[in-house]
Amino acid sequence: MKLIVKVFPEITIKSRPVRMRFIRQLAKNIRAVLRDLDPAVVVNGVWDNLELETRVSEPKLLKEMTERLSCMPGIAHFLQVDEYPLGDFDDILAKCMLHYGDALAGKIFSVRCKRAGKHPFSSMDVEKYVGSQLRRQCGAAGISLKDPQIEVRIEIRDQRLFVIHSQHDSIGGYPLGSLEQTLVLMSGGFDSTVAAYQIMRRGLMSHFCFFNLGGRAHELGVMEVAHFIWKKYGSSQRVLFVSVPFEEVLGEILGKVDNSHMGVILKRMMLRAATSIADRLHIDALVTGEAISQVSSQTLPNLSVIDCVTEKLVLRPLIASHKQDIIDTANEIGTADFARHMPEYCGVISVNPKTAAKRGRVEHEEKEFDMAVLERAIENARLVPIDRVIDELGQDIQIEEVGEALAGQIIIDIRHPDDAEDDPLSVAGVEVQTMPFYAVNARFKELDPTRQYLLYCDKGVMSRLHAHHLLSEGHANVRVYRPS
């Protein structure tokens, strides 16, 4: 299979050195993302696009390649093509008839030709000749440039002819790794996940930083959604997941800070911690999912007071976004279900939160705060490569596993809905239910407590993690299903 990858249009208006750097980075990213599917994949760069060749022919692998490229920053769209040496107009016609001839009978069509290089003819010359001959020889109903039922698309590049079969859109933006690094503050909800996506789509390599305010389930949920975003949109780069234990910090705030200033001061402590971690990683910018006045701590005066504690650039890609627009984007990128089922955590709830906090008053409130507590939290932060975060969580967790399901037990397939749909689990004589891993913690309590449930996933890691959490929550009727 051959693909022509069209780069994001903004890349084409860059200076020559910048443009070539972006193109090289995109080619490197494509090789990295597709290497496990085809170790011999070939990606060659030219001035305004990339050409990709693979010998993989299995439909399932080709579908996976297409899905990965459709989620890669830097790609506007890509074309599946067949390549031929450029011949005369009759030869071009023959190649078009080979691919489109049977589909044109009784249909209204158009011919679209793009051309690069020096030729004794124009793109319009090709379109006129090929279009008139296809109409005559294939029994087409007519030609319409405005509203065709079928588009016959070809590209001519120097002495090569490409007949285009299909076009797949991607997400645009700049290639990951072509710009600087950032540290994204992640809560796992709608806002922070969409902010992370927006930053990654702009080509900024994004590490994830989570502040744990007192919940193993919340930490697990954020790890899962961070891993999902990275795997889908950013797996060409290796980044870190940072988990900072903030329970003691929260306790210090609750005990020593005036109620109305708790929210602002908590955010200031998070920025201080994130700044320290970013310094360690040589990162110059922080990213948050805040939007103007969405909650009390996000008014302009409060954001200004919060930002005073860091010299880092704080990026807020959602700053002027409406909540429904953020939710719509989360649905599009696949993080909405994670956000909806994200476990609740014990946050700071002010009865009458300040919407216009004064810097002097906030600093006065912080004088009672023991900064050694914050330093301990930073020292105890865990930094884990994102590609290992799920596997590491599963280590040293001893959960009963069974290799065979018995009648009366229920298997719960906790894989991602796409995986469960593509490769459904079927076990003779045993009921199988699907419940995505991001919904297990919230929905398990709705199940019949008198039944025995076996959690299933491909590698057994996610199922062990969730079984461990459910057991710790008092659900004794859960095991892990690992068929032999």
Q: In CATH, what number is assigned to the domain containing residue 290?
A: 3.40.50.620
185 is in an annotated binding site: yes
Structure token digits, residue 192: 């922070």
Tell me if 186 is assigned to a ligand binding site. Answer: yes
CA distance 95 to 84: 8
- End-to-end CA, the chain: 36
Question: Measured between alpha carbons, how far is 441 from 225 in angstroms, rounded to an integer?
Answer: 14
The alpha-carbon radius of gyration of the chain (Å, integer) is: 27
Domain's final residue, options 337, 365, 393? 393
Indicate the residue among 371, 393, 415 that finishes a domain.
393
Residues 6+ apart with CB under 8 A from 271: 286, 306, 307, 309, 310, 312, 314
175 inside domain: no
Please tell me the distance from the alpha carbon of residue 92 to that of residue 81, in angstroms, as a whole number: 14
Yes or no: say if 350 and 296 are a contact pair by the CB < 8 Å rule: yes
What CATH number should be reported for the domain holding residue 420?
Answer: 3.40.250.10
Q: Are residues 112 and 213 in the same domain?
A: no
Active site residue 209: no
* pLDDT tens, per residue, the chain with 484 residues: 899 999 999 998 999 999 999 999 999 999 999 999 999 999 988 777 899 999 988 999 999 999 999 999 999 999 999 999 999 999 999 999 999 999 999 999 999 999 989 999 999 999 999 999 999 999 999 999 899 999 999 999 999 999 999 999 999 999 999 999 999 999 999 999 999 999 999 999 999 999 998 667 778 889 989 999 999 999 999 999 999 999 889 888 888 888 889 899 999 999 999 999 999 999 999 999 999 998 888 899 999 999 999 999 999 999 999 999 999 999 999 999 888 877 655 455 666 788 898 999 999 999 989 999 999 999 999 999 999 887 766 655 678 899 999 989 999 999 878 788 888 999 988 999 999 887 787 788 899 999 999 999 887 777 887 888 888 788 989 999 998 7
Provide the pLDDT for residue 346: 46
- Whether 93 maps to a domain, the answer reads yes
The backbone torsions φ and ψ at residue 8, rounded to the nearest 5 degrees and listed phi first, read -55, 130
Q: At what angle do helices 89-100 and 123-138 cross, to 10 degrees?
A: 50
Amino acid at 91: D
φ, ψ of residue 353 to 5 degrees: the values are: -65, 145
Under 8 Å between Cβ of 412 and 483:
no
User: In this structure, are 163 and 281 located in the same domain?
Assistant: no
Could you tell me if 479 and 399 are in contact, meaning their C-beta atoms sit under 8 angstroms apart? yes
- The answer to the question of whether 289 is labelled as a binding residue is yes
Let me know if residue 218 belongs to a domain: yes
Inside any domain, residue 176: no
* Neighbour-count burial for 153-169, b at 16+ CB within 10 Å, e otherwise: bbbbbeeebbbbeeeee
Task: Cite the beta strand spans of 285-438 per DSSP E.
Answer: 285-287, 313-315, 382-385, 401-402, 410-413, 431-434
CB atoms within 10 A of CB 387: 14
- Cα 425 from Cα 275, distance rounded (Å): 46
Domain count across the chain: 3
One domain, residues 156 and 269: no
Residue 345 confidence (pLDDT)? 53
Residue 460 burial (C-beta neighbours within 10 Å; 0-12, 13-18, 19+): middle
Which residue do the tokens 């933006």 mark? 173
pTM, full prediction: 0.84
Spatial neighbors of 424 by CB under 8 A, at least 6 apart, are none
Residue 174 forms part of a structural domain: no
Range list of β-strands (E), 352-397: 382-385
Starting from the edge strand earliest in sequence, which strands make up the sheet with 478-481, in order? Answer: 401-402, 478-481, 453-456, 410-413, 431-434
* Whether residue 251 is found in the same domain as residue 382: yes
Burial classification of residue 46, based on how many CB atoms lie within 10 Å of its CB (0-12 exposed, 13-18 middle, 19 or more buried): exposed
Clarify whether residues 200 and 225 are in a common domain: yes
Q: Write out pLDDT tens, residues 415-469.
A: 878 788 888 999 988 999 999 887 787 788 899 999 999 999 887 777 887 888 8
Read off the pLDDT of residues 335-370 as tens digits, 9 standing for 90 and up: 998 888 776 554 556 667 888 989 999 999 999 899
Domain that holds residue 8: 2-169
246: amino acid identity, one letter: F
Torsion sign across C-alpha atoms 93, 96, 101, 106: negative
| 265 shares a domain with 202 | yes
Instruction: Answer with the one of 393, 421, 447 that is the final residue of a domain.
Output: 393
Total residue length of the chain: 484
